[in-house]
C-alpha cells in the first residue's frame, strides 16, 4: 500500500510543488488549502504526476478546529505517513500599526496550525500503535523561513511566527521521537512563487534574494529538500531545521570590504 502524504498550502507555491513531487514518487496525496480553485488545479497536477488517489480538503487552518478537522478527514481516507505544514501568510504590517487581530491572524496560521496538526496526527499514530501496528511512525516537515533568524521591517508577526515554529519543531521532536515520529523543518530563502496571497514587490525581492549561489530559489528547490527530509534517507534526523537558501544565511552579501586594499602587498595584511 502506498504511503499517504498530507500537504497544507498545496494550492500554490511551495506546497503545490511539494504535493506534485510526492505524487510523482507514488504517494497517495491529500492536498489542503483554503482556495478551492487553486486546490482543484493542484489536484489535477498531482494526478497527472501519477497520484490517482490525489484528493482535496478545503480547510481554514487558522481557525481553532481547522487542523484537527483536516487530520480527521485525511486519516479517514488512509493513515497518514507524512505531514507537510506549508500553509502560511506574510502580510506587511508596520510595527506601529500592529494590533491583536493582525498579530493573531499570522500566529494562528503560521505557528498554531502546524502545532495542532502535529498533535492531531501524533495522537492517531500513537493510537494505531497500541492497536495492531506497533511499528507505525510518521514524518512531519514544517516550512519555516529565513525570517526566523532575521527580523525585517513590517514582518514582526511573521518573523516571530517562524522563530516560534522552529522551537515548536524541536519541542515536538523531543517528545514524539519515542513513538517513531520525526519532526523537522525546512527554512527557505527567497523563493519566487508569484503568490496572490503573499505578494511582494520587486524591490523587496531584490533586497532579500542575494546569496552566494547567485540566484533566487524556485519552489522545486524546496520541494526536493522536503521530500528528502520526510523520507527514509533522513530516518535518523529529527528536531532539525534545514536551511535551503542558496547560502544567504551564511552571512551578509551586500557589505563592502571593511579594509582598504594596500598597494604592493596582500590586501588587508599589514607589514610586521
Q: Is residue 260 part of a domain?
A: no
Per-residue pLDDT, 272: 46
Give the helix ranges, DSSP H, for the chain: 13-24, 36-49, 66-77, 100-107, 113-130, 156-176, 202-208, 219-230
Q: Count CB neighbours of 225 within 10 A.
A: 19
Q: Is residue 205 part of a domain?
A: yes
Number of domains composing the chain: 1
Q: Is residue 268 part of a domain?
A: no
Per-residue pLDDT, 132: 65
Q: Count CB neighbours of 244 within 10 A.
A: 20
pLDDT confidence tier of residue 91, bands split at 50, 70 and 90: very high
**CATH code at position 99:** 3.40.50.720
pLDDT confidence tier of residue 214, bands split at 50, 70 and 90: confident
Q: Count CB neighbours of 46 within 10 A.
A: 29
Per-residue pLDDT, 265: 54
Q: Is residue 42 part of a domain?
A: yes
Q: Is residue 161 part of a domain?
A: yes
Q: Is residue 114 part of a domain?
A: yes
Give percent above pLDDT 70 in the chain. Answer: 88
Terminal-residue alpha carbon distance, the chain: 71
Residues carrying an active site annotation? 158
Question: How remote is the C-alpha of 151 from its chain's centroid?
Answer: 18
Tell me the residue range of the domain where 241 lies: 4-250
Q: How far is CA 267 from CA 68, 187, 218, 256, in A?
A: 60, 36, 37, 14
Q: Is residue 160 part of a domain?
A: yes
Mean pLDDT over 117-121 rounds to 98
Q: CA 208 to CA 192: how far, in whole Å?
A: 12
Q: Is residue 269 part of a domain?
A: no
In sequence order, the 6+-apart residues with CB closer than 8 A to the CB of 170 are 239
Q: Is the pLDDT of residue 167 over 80?
A: yes
- Specify whether the backbone of 9 is left (phi greater than 0), alpha (psi in -120 to 50) or beta: left
Q: pTM of whole model > 0.85?
A: yes
DSSP state of 94: -
Mean pLDDT over 60-81 rounds to 98
Amino acid at each position: 500500500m502506498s504511503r499517504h502524504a498530507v500537504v497544507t498550502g498545496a494550492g500554490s507555491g511551495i506546497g503545490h510543488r511539494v504535493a506534485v513531487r510526492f505524487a510523482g514518487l507514488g504517494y497517495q496525496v491529500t492536498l489542503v488549502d483554503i482556495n478551492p480553485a487553486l486546490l482543484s488545479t493542484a489536484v489535477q497536477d498531482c494526478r497527472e504526476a501519477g497520484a490517482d488517489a490525489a484528493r482535496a480538503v478545503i480547510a481554514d487552518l487558522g481557525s481553532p478546529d481547522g487542523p484537527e478537522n483536516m487530520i480527521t478527514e485525511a486519516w479517514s481516507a488512509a493513515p497518514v505517513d507524512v505531514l507537510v505544514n506549508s500553509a502560511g501568510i506574510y502580510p506587511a504590517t508596520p510595527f506601529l500599526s500592529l494590533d491583536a487581530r493582525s498579530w493573531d491572524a499570522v500566529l494562528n496560521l503560521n505557528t498554531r496550525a502546524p502545532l495542532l496538526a502535529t498533535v492531531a496526527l501524533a495522537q492517531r499514530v500513537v493510537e494505531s500503535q497500541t492497536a495492531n501496528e506497533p511499528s507505525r511512525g510518521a514524518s512531519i516537515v514544517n516550512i519555516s523561513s529565513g525570517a526566523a533568524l532575521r527580523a525585517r521591517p513590517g514582518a514582526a508577526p511573521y518573523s516571530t511566527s517562524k522563530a516560534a515554529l522552529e522551537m515548536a519543531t524541536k519541542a515536538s521532536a523531543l517528545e514524539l521521537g519515542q513513538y517513531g515520529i520525526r519532526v523537522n523543518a525546512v527554512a527557505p530563502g527567497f523563493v519566487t512563487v508569484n503568490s496572490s496571497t503573499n505578494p511582494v514587490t520587486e524591490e523587496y525581492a531584490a533586497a532579500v534574494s542575494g546569496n552566494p549561489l547567485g540566484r533566487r530559489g524556485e519552489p522545486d528547490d524546496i520541494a526536493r529538500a522536503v521530500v528528502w527530509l520526510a523520507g527514509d534517507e533522513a530516518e535518523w534526523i529529527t528536531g532539525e531545521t534545514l536551511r535551503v537558501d542558496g547560502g544567504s544565511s551564511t552571512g551578509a552579501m551586500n557589505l563592502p570590504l571593511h579594509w582598504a586594499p594596500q598597494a604592493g602587498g596582500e590586501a588587508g595584511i599589514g607589514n610586521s
